[in-house]
Amino acid sequence: MGELYTTREIAKFLNINEKMVYSLISEKGLPATKVTGKWLFPINLVRQWVEAGTENYPQTAQLPPYHGLVLIAGSNDLLLDKLIATFNIKHEHHMAMFGMAGSLGGLKALKQNLCHIASSHLVGDNDEYNFPFLKDEMHQMPAVVNFCQREQGIVVQKGNPKQIGSVKDLCSPEITIVNRELGTGTRKLFDKLLNTQGIDGQTISGYDTTLSRHMDVGLEILNHRADAGPAIRPVANILGLDFIPVSWERFDLLIAKDKFFDQGIQLFLSLLKGKVIQETAEKYGGYDLSMTGKMVYPPS
């Protein structure tokens, strides 16, 4: 949590009187906690709160003018991997590079102008994807283009020998899982599912064993190093494993508006309506392309 400040210290830090501190807690969401009956303030969260409220925020970095390199960062996806490879083969004077950072990492990279496109599938409390986090994380709202909808769930061994039917069964001492890393949309969805069932993830064997990619989860299960793990259906289909469906989710591409019409960005987006993505999605299964390539807007 970082260093905790007292009310007097936080008032001095913000250059306000102590009475105003209490108003900011109740009216403006100033981060605060009560541990001993008195308000304490995690200074790292207070700094983030101040930063989030800053207007005319200066750019901390600047991507150079487009010169043939499309930088993509964020959430891992098999179909996205295929499209990046296709782009690099098709366009010899352009190259797309992907930085695996998880959905939250992609948002942060976009915020810091370290990439052109962020791939994300973060679900908010109201089941709306990405926009609740864009409001919190971004200084400027990016353009949002749907990449696909895909099926999330629990991958289990072929034949499901442990008879896993839901996340409740993962609590059995006879079952070991592998998990996705913090900051990934799949981990957030999995933790949300556990919370709705009143399950403490720390009670599940293997909960802290984390992997970067969906396919890594599948390979651990295929090689009998784990019984189950959260991942997308295409992993189970490709590896011949079984799959317990949980939900369909929206997977979006978030694009800096000032870079949206750069040549490489438009060339990449043009692949969203091509044969490669359609044929690959059909081959892998677990994908729905009905929204692919369409602009997505925040709910009114």
- The answer to whether the 69-147+251-283 and 152-248 domains have the same CATH topology is yes
Give the pLDDT of the chain (300 residues) as one tens digit per residue.
458 899 999 999 999 999 899 889 877 788 888 877 789 988 888 887 787 666 655 555 578 889 999 999 999 999 999 999 999 999 999 999 999 999 999 999 999 899 999 999 998 877 889 988 887 777 778 999 999 999 999 999 999 999 999 999 999 999 999 999 988 999 999 999 999 999 999 999 999 999 999 999 999 999 999 999 999 999 999 999 999 999 999 999 999 998 999 999 999 999 999 999 999 999 999 999 999 999 999 887
Q: Which long-range contacts (CB under 8 A, 24 or more apart) does 188-197 make?
A: 188/103, 188/122, 188/123, 189/123, 189/152, 189/230, 189/246, 189/247, 189/249, 190/230, 192/123, 193/167, 193/246, 194/167, 197/166, 197/167, 197/168
Alpha helices in the chain (DSSP H): 7-14, 18-28, 43-52, 78-90, 102-111, 131-137, 185-196, 214-222, 233-239, 263-270, 275-284
pTM attached to this predicted model: 0.78
CATH 2.40.50.1070 fits 69-147+251-283, yes or no: no
Cα–Cα dist 251/43, whole Å: 34
Q: Where are the domains of the chain?
A: 4-52, 69-147+251-283, 152-248
The CATH topology of domain 4-52 is Arc Repressor Mutant, subunit A (1.10.10)
The domain 152-248 belongs to what CATH superfamily?
Answer: Periplasmic binding protein-like II (3.40.190.10)
